[in-house]
Structure 1
């Protein structure tokens, strides 16, 4: 259950009232889906936590109430439920507009095609500007081509009236530019995650290695490719096991993966952890983090979290990844959807051809310099400043 009541007229929050110390902050409302708590939701949560440092007070509206309300860390931010019956349930835009007026929000910040439609309507009704956050390329968000097409058309229609688009990587900015968005409406703000205090020293693994992966597991995350690469490496005599952290998107996909595990005879080599809020505790139990995504990323939060925790990364060359890591320096890059090449790149670390210690040190420095949660919030606040002419 979410922590805010489902409204009959206008949404009502049950989060604590704001203190006098925060009343001078400009008020922003983030309109999100909310059914999951994965990469994009982590961005939203961290913005809620960090934006007050830069003069902005965040609230949330969930149109698909679910895991976000239960898992978020920024629970000081008011959260409102505004359930949509379907993606074209635009009547909710009127309720969102009523909430914007009642709470005196100064910017509406949407994060998905579905919420962009509501933000567009509420912005029209209230004359409050809206911002759209581009977390991934909508046209390549899933393996369901018809759904991708519909979502992209919804997105293109809605963002025509957005004051600014916040893209999480330069590659996504290029993607939106290709869809006709002008440069003066595009801002690139890289994702960021908190620095880990006192990252412990770690010795180069010896003997068996633990590979790890973290995701909301669905077809575009490439878990099948990682399983095939693991089977290849084990046949070559490498002692490896996998720590798989995160839920499956559907029971059907979970069943498909477990059948593949059985066929590859990997049942005794995988620990299925499921969903957890404490991802950093998981990274400390991995010797090498692997992100085998096929497509559809923006700038993966799990890559940044692994860098911050001092766990070297092997990731595929998909949108945004190479803006965070440089192959052979702050991480290892493999070709997408190529199990043989992924196995080769993992093996290069296992055998010492790529220096695990050097990659770890370089990744820690790279994260601290450019990819903290505070840097992300500063960049988003700069977009608000421009819109509100602060």
Structure 2
């Protein structure tokens, strides 16, 4: 299983991704005491400012692992029951029979059957996932919109169900994690953002990680370019954006170093107890936003690496920003990668994203990072 870091191969793989079309990307790979950090390309296409490996970045749904861990902490303290119906805690938000049928666990592992609210909050995405019929106008319209989580939850809960509670495969839905944020608020008496900041981010010593309360990023960061499947050409910068549209589901700002530190501590049983971690690693089949069926636990997703065992972590996207953080089960080998372009694939006549050289280049980078 031992596969020491190959800095030359990692640098080459990073440059290949940049040449394939990402304006800028940066990464940190660790193997025991060995640490490699690298960056390729630019943080600003207008000025040519280079990316560096220490930049802060919007990391999207990697936020879900933080939120899931916060809920598990409250389960350990006896304030939340993992298999208790959500309607016992939030009867107004998930009323009636659904509130009694959907458990906290089903929210965390996306088997609640609750629909995604995003197409309803962003009107030009209403055809999602029939992407050929959508446009980017809502991205601009909502750049500074301050959403309240309960209005978004109401959209998701009010939409037609995508499955029966507890049924598999589940369907990935941000509605689940906004509800978990409201659950944390209900049982802790403080907002999910404040609870996660105090009990996850600060406790883990993550100095460049935050859940934002305003549209701006502070500290060194890249611009973040959204292509929306070629409909925004050239891609536009959406680094300034009010992330209340995803809140505790996907609003986190972090660095590749902080992400690796967080997942190291999580898999070592230092964020939640070993028994809670075991619960997080119990997976079920879930249909991802891209339409693929993946294994998904409680805020964790596994990847099997040939000859290297299982890696655990999460990926995430925001408008213009993407990230993936994966750590091997023994905590020794890990990678965190961030890119400043999203939705680079063009669409075919049926609205399906077409293969792009970036897909293969990123897959090659991940292979080199995880197992050489």
Q: TM-score range by the shorter chain?
A: under 0.3
TM-score normalised by structure 1 residue count: 0.23
Structure with a larger share of its residues in helix: 1
Greater relative contact order, per chain length (Cα 8 Å cut-off, separation 6+): 2
Bigger radius of gyration: 1
